Chains A and B, each alone.
Chain A
């Protein structure tokens, strides 16, 4: 007999309430309970970063966090990066610089890159690579992703 817990947290700036079982990860909760399928499942072992979500300002793998642990926390997912219909500079640059091919890793990269730029607004190429080493991409070889993050950082500093 399963039992669900009521959880209240903030997701992308909105106070949100949901019910989940303890055994449902935050990733499963976002995708299957809340219908927020932007965060993706790639490995369930914290090795690919496709499920990356920001929790209280830190990027985490949502597959390695329980939904019940979100109680009282402030979450940012890819769905919250655009402001109304205006894309975040990272999203814009990923598009302009063709930093995505199949796009499955893109939400994870965008969230992890946002967490990076929020703390380090002017990272070097090596710092970007280090910060994003937990996000696997199989399509791009990372070249255009690194360029897009550098370009977005520039825009954000000027803006």
Chain B
């Protein structure tokens, strides 16, 4: 497949209105919480008020007696699963931990941990019923700090947890990953400058505006349908089946529109509970989380402690890097520390490096993926240290990165060499940007830059392209559309079929109606599902050519397909458009559906570089972001507006992570800010316009050159903001978030 060359497109690269858009701007689009069924009950979850406790008993008799309450489900009503690593669908995880997170059994491990679920005829009655469930807890001391949890004398959260390095020792360290190459000592010895710093980042949440939801409908034939807002309907199906002890094929998941995910809606919370309650009551059961439940009891991302030591020669060549990182896994193992270790330092050529990462359990919610999971924490550390080294060398921070920048063939931290990548080009895009070339004037202001890397994913997708009776088409995939991917899917199919975009509709189907798709996440939908759509559309074209050949009584090889028409290479027959062919389908062999399924290879890695200008109020230490620019290599932007949207959104989340977002736990392990008042995400008054510069270094592994774009833009901003604050105040911040209180303390200490 030709790629990497300059291709001329009619539709790809343009900015049509998305096909699902009208429903979204009129309020017609159905998100999970918008579903309603006759006889439907409402479910609510009773959650642990303690961060760490043994459950001695649960008594829900009084709750069942409340008029309107129809059922209560507790941990012992679900199957007990063995603790081991399994593949559930395509995901490797421990079903024992998954099931225990959905509903606690003998222990609660974080404030908000689900203990019981109730179904009642109204939401308010269900809430009243929760207060009538009596749980006898034996409160245990909570473990809340990642370094405390690693100490030899730390209380052990899971008595049976072991790691590979010390297989006989009870531990809170679930995993230790290490990448190393070269000779660290020699590398540092060759350095003229060495910078060593320690960093702390707080647990933060994806912050999607739509809370989790699920409607479970269990029917008496042992089947269940789940309507929910999810990034991965096939994963919801397999995970729920596992937790409930049902055959996978007996569960159908219907993906509703989804109000944001960013990785946080790739696992299960309410879904199996809704099905269990539906089974117990014989009615559909709808469950929606409150915002407090979302923050306390879904999957934020890890807080972390990170040490970075790097050396460079005075000419600005990096010589060595040593990293130690401990990530909070939450109540069960599985932080993104491995990804953090694979992405940190990836933009740079480094002969000598060692990265050690630790996955640590403690009494906080089990972490889930958050947009380039693990990478942002890590980059906060490495990109700050790089900035310091550049300054010591007297070299412009962008030039420093270009000088040390990874190219095709450079080795990633985890070992494999890069294929064709666009890091240098992305750096140059910032260097040449109006923002970077402009002078920043005014007191208390500073400019900072930082880079980020994310490897992106391929994985599996299926697509069908159905040609309708009037020659229009629909593209069917199983990839929930979070950011506008239906637009890109329609565009790819329309481009291949030669149809106007208005005649191609994209549909997200349920798990019975389309073949397997892995999660919408990992920056993979435009890449992998797009690849499946591309191939399915080509399959439809092949069949259209065959049909034309049959109609013209010519050989297949004599038929060409261009600009939406089948053309006879030997002249004498007028071309037939898709519409013409479709009109003849019934009498020439039947309907045409193109299909393809992929396990996509050829993933293109993504780099982003961010530049921000800040002003710091010298009296209040409040930071105002004056200007922000993000450059990112998208390979090929199918729909530039939605690529820009991903870039701007990731940048905004990164700025929130940098300035004000954090989880406040008191010393009992209770989350004190489980609402949008005190979990402070940026409002539109907190941000400037965000310029998004799309760089296109086509990915040779994809027929259209696509690289995933959804994630990497969140990685650089915290370090970019920190580097800007440094230039504005002279103070290097090593703790996130850089809220006014914290920044004041740091600048006040310095006496500046």
| Contact between chain A and chain B defined by CB under 8 Å | yes
Chain A residues engaging chain B, CB cutoff 8 angstroms: 2, 21, 23-24, 28, 31-32, 35-45, 47-48, 50, 77-79, 81-82, 87, 91, 94-98, 100-107, 110, 125, 128-130, 132-146
- Given the complex, which residues of A lie within 8 Å of B258, measured CB to CB? 102
Look across to chain A and name the residue whose beta carbon is closest to the beta carbon of B290. Answer: A44
**Complexed CA–CA distance, A137 and B682 (Å):** 9
6 pairs of residues in contact across A and B, judged by CB atoms under 8 Å = A35-B36, A37-B31, A40-B209, A41-B33, A95-B22, A102-B210
Name the interface residues of B1-24: CB closer than 8 Å to any CB of A: 15, 17-18, 21-22, 24
Bound form: Cα–Cα A77–B26 in Å: 10
Complex CA gap A10/B504 in Å reads 39
Chain B residue numbers with a CB within 8 Å of A140 are 645, 648-649, 652
Interface pairs A-B: 3 shortest CB-CB? A38-B27, A104-B259, A141-B652
A-contacting 9-mer, from B55-63, B410-418, B420-428, B685-693: B685-693
> B490-498, B578-586, B600-608, B673-681: which lies at the A interface?
B673-681
Smallest CB gap from A38: residue in B: B27
A38/B676 in contact, CB under 8 A: no
Q: Are B649 and A138 in contact (CB under 8 A)?
A: yes
Which residues in A have their C-beta under 8 angstroms from that of B683? Answer: 132-136
**How far, in whole Å, are A146 and B54 apart by their CA atoms in the complex?**
50
The answer to the question of B433 belonging to the interface, with a C-beta cut-off of 8 Å to chain A, is no
- Collect the chain B residues with CB atoms within 8 Å of residue A24's CB: 124
Closest residue on chain B to residue A111 by CB atoms: B27
Do residues A141 and B26 form an inter-chain contact, with CB atoms below 8 A?
no
Instruction: Check A42–B690 contact: CB distance below 8 A.
Output: no
Pick from B27, B124, B484, B690: contact of A143, CB under 8 Å: B690
**Alpha-carbon gap, A3 to B109, bound state (A):** 40
CB distance from A96 to the nearest CB of B (A): 6
Give the distance to chain B from A26, nearest Cβ to Cβ, in Å.
15
Q: A42 contacts which chain B residues (CB < 8 A)? A: 209-211, 291, 676
Q: Which of A129, A138, A139 contacts B685 (CB 8 A)?
A: A129
Closest to B676 in A: A47
Task: Decide if B718 is an interface residue (CB 8 Å cutoff).
Answer: no
Interface pair A78/B209, CB less than 8 Å apart: no
A141 touches B687 (CB 8 A): yes
Number of interface residues of B (CB under 8 A): 60
Q: How far is the CA of A107 from the CA of B31 in the complex (A)?
A: 13
Residue of A nearest to B692 (CB): A143
Report chain A residues within 8 Å CB of B653. 138, 141
Find out whether the CB atom of B685 lies under 8 angstroms from the CB atom of A133: yes
Task: Identify which of A21, A38, A97, A139 contacts B260 (C-beta below 8 A).
Answer: A139
Q: Residue of A at shortest CB range from B24?
A: A103
For residue A128, which residues in chain B have a CB less than 8 angstroms away from its CB? 684
- The proximity string for B residues 428-469 relative to A, scoring 1 for CB distances below 8 Å and 0 otherwise, is 000000000000000000000000000000000000000000
Residue of A nearest to B691 (CB): A143
Task: Tell me whether A103 and B689 are in contact (CB under 8 A).
Answer: no
CA distance A98 to B638 in the complex (A): 14
Sample of 10 further A-B pairs with CB below 8 A, known A42-B676, A107-B27, A140-B649: A23-B124, A40-B259, A91-B26, A98-B639, A100-B25, A100-B484, A103-B259, A138-B262, A144-B641, A146-B684
Given contacts A42-B291, A45-B677, A143-B690, contact A77 B645 (CB under 8 A): no
If A42-B209, A44-B290, A102-B482 touch, whether A136 touches B27 (CB-CB below 8 Å) is: no
Which residues of chain B (644-696) have a CB below 8 Å from chain A? Answer: 644-646, 648-653, 675-677, 681, 683-685, 687, 689-690, 692
CB-defined contacts of B31 to chain A, threshold 8 Å: 37, 40, 104
Find A142's partner among B288, B677, B684 (CB 8 Å cutoff): B684
A91's contact among B25, B645, B646, by CB below 8 Å, is which? Answer: B25
Q: Which of A21, A105, A143 contacts B689 (CB 8 A)?
A: A143
Tell me, in angstroms, the Cα distance from A144 to B18 when the chains sit together.
15
Assuming the contacts A45-B676, A144-B641, asked whether A133 and B684 have C-beta atoms less than 8 A apart, the reply is yes
Q: Which residue of A lies closest to B652 (CB)?
A: A141
Of residues B34, B210, B261, B644, which shows the largest number of chain A Cβ atoms within 10 Å of its Cβ? B210
- Measured CB to CB, the closest approach of chain A to B685, in angstroms, equals 4
A7 vs chain B, min Cβ distance (A): 18
Contact A103 B257 (CB under 8 A): yes
Inter-subunit contact A101/B28 (CB<8 Å): no
How far is the CB of A108 from the nearest CB of chain B, in Å?
9
* Distance of A146 Cα from B690 Cα, bound (Å): 11
B471 at the interface (CB under 8 A from A): no
- Take A43-B291, A102-B210 as given contacts and tell me if A81 and B684 are in contact as well, using a CB distance cutoff of 8 Å: no
Q: Is B29 an interface residue (CB 8 A)?
A: yes
A39 to B644, CA, bound (A): 27
